[in-house]
């Protein structure tokens, strides 16, 4: 993976600081069982994609000092993300994630609800903690604004996602839903990094767009891996998205480009009807042959292209203070659509 070397070196160097802050300072207290449940998925691993966006953006626009102010903001988005994973797993009745039992399976539903609620509160606390690291009040307010806006969008996105299990939707609805559910928090991550670097409002908005495009690409790739990914690599159950009739861009495209028995099978899956394991396998190959896989991958790459354009523009405007961080943010955008997990 030489093409992602700068990114992975950065993650190897800085993400342990974020993890240490989260596990030792932020998400630590009594009663212990609630905090254990809250840190369960964080301890199980994860890509730390969102905190990397925060720190890299801060470093790119403002150098090392910005990155230090950005540390609690990086923790905030990872903790917020973990909250949504815990609650989504309850709502979706998923039993494994990151190769371990989900929080409600291990600790029970009441504790999992509570652990998620606590993590949401702690994500705002983390932002307030940035004050101690020298981030001034108007920027703290801007950072909270960015996270709260994302939080509302994430809830709305999950609301659409649950409703879409019961009805057919357009490509537009799908893209709007994944922007809300996944793009909005990565958008906020990039904004938070820019806010920590005391970037101008327009630059904060530009980086927000970078995050938004990367986030949408990320989710399209996630939907591809949800059908074609190797469960041993992804840590998620095989065909889980198909099994619950999730209206991904893959299924929507394949429905539009098949007919006869093939289309009927996809319609049964899309209606949420429970089908046999071998039919799920058959559906996956119909989706591939319909051209949906290639279409979705190209769509994801077009979003990445737009994200890269924004970085080019910031570079052309001479706003980049750290070339390595710029390179890593480029790699991160590309990694989004090349990853296998």
DSSP E strand boundaries for the chain: 96-97, 100-101
Q: Which is nearer to a second copy, 66 or 158 (CB)?
A: 158
Of residues 258 through 277, those in contact with a second copy by CB under 8 A are none
Site string for a second copy, 7-46 (x = CB under 8 A): ----------------------xxx-xx------------
Distance CA 168, CA 255 (A): 10
Q: Can residue 109 be called a binding residue for a second copy (CB under 8 A)?
A: yes
Place of tokens 């904004």: 191
Distance CA 61, CA 270 (A): 44
- Containing H/E element for 182? none
Among 23, 44, 65, 90, binds a second copy (CB under 8 A): 90
Q: Which stretch binds a second copy (CB under 8 A): 49-57, 148-156, 281-289, 304-312?
A: 148-156
Shortest distance in whole angstroms from residue 116 CB to a second copy: 7
Label residue 77 exposed, middle or buried (CB < 10 Å: 0-12, 13-18, 19+): buried
Whether 77 and 42 have beta carbons less than 8 Å apart is answered as no
Shortest distance in whole angstroms from residue 24 CB to a second copy: 16
Distance CA 8, CA 2 (A): 9
Of residues 301 through 330, those in contact with a second copy by CB under 8 A are none
Distance CA 86, CA 252 (A): 27
Shortest distance in whole angstroms from residue 102 CB to a second copy: 14
| Interface residue list for a second copy (CB under 8 A) | 29-31, 33-34, 83, 87, 90-92, 109-111, 113-114, 116-118, 120-122, 124-125, 128, 131, 137-138, 140-141, 144-145, 148-149, 151-152, 155-156, 158-160, 162-163
């Amino acid at each position: 993976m030489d093409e992602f070397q700068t990114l992975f070196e950065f993650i190897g160097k800085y993400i342990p600081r974020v993890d240490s802050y989260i596990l030792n300072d932020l998400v630590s207290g009594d009663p212990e069982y609630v905090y254990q449940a809250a840190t369960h998925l964080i301890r199980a691993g994860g890509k730390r994609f969102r905190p990397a966006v925060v720190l890299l953006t801060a470093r790119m626009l403002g150098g090392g000092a910005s990155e230090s102010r950005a540390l609690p903001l990086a923790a905030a988005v990872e903790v917020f993300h973990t909250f949504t994973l815990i609650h989504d797993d309850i709502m979706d009745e998923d039993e494994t994630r990151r190769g371990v039992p989900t929080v409600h399976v291990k600790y029970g539903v009441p504790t999992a609800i509570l652990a998620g609620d606590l993590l949401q509160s702690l994500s705002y606390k983390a932002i307030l903690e940035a004050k101690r690291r020298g981030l001034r009040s108007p920027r703290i307010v801007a950072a909270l604004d960015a996270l709260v806006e994302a939080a509302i969008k994430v809830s709305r996105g999950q609301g659409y996602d649950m409703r879409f299990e019961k009805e057919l939707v357009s490509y537009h609805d799908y893209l709007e839903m994944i922007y809300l559910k996944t793009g909005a928090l990565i958008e906020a991550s990039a904004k938070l990094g820019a806010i920590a670097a005391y970037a101008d409002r327009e630059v904060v908005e530009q980086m927000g767009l970078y995050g938004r495009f990367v986030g949408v690409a990320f989710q399209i790739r996630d939907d591809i891996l949800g059908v074609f990914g190797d469960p041993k690599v992804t840590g998620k159950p095989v065909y889980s998205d198909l099994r619950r009739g999730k209206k991904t861009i893959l299924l929507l495209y394949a429905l539009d480009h098949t007919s006869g028995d093939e289309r009927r099978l996809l319609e049964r899956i899309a209606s949420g009807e429970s089908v046999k394991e071998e039919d799920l396998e058959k559906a996956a190959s119909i989706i591939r042959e319909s051209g949906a896989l290639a279409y979705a991958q190209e769509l994801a790459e077009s979003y990445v292209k737009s994200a890269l354009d924004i970085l080019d523009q910031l570079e052309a405007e001479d706003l980049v203070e750290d070339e390595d961080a710029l390179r890593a943010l480029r790699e991160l955008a590309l990694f989004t659509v090349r990853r296998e997990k």
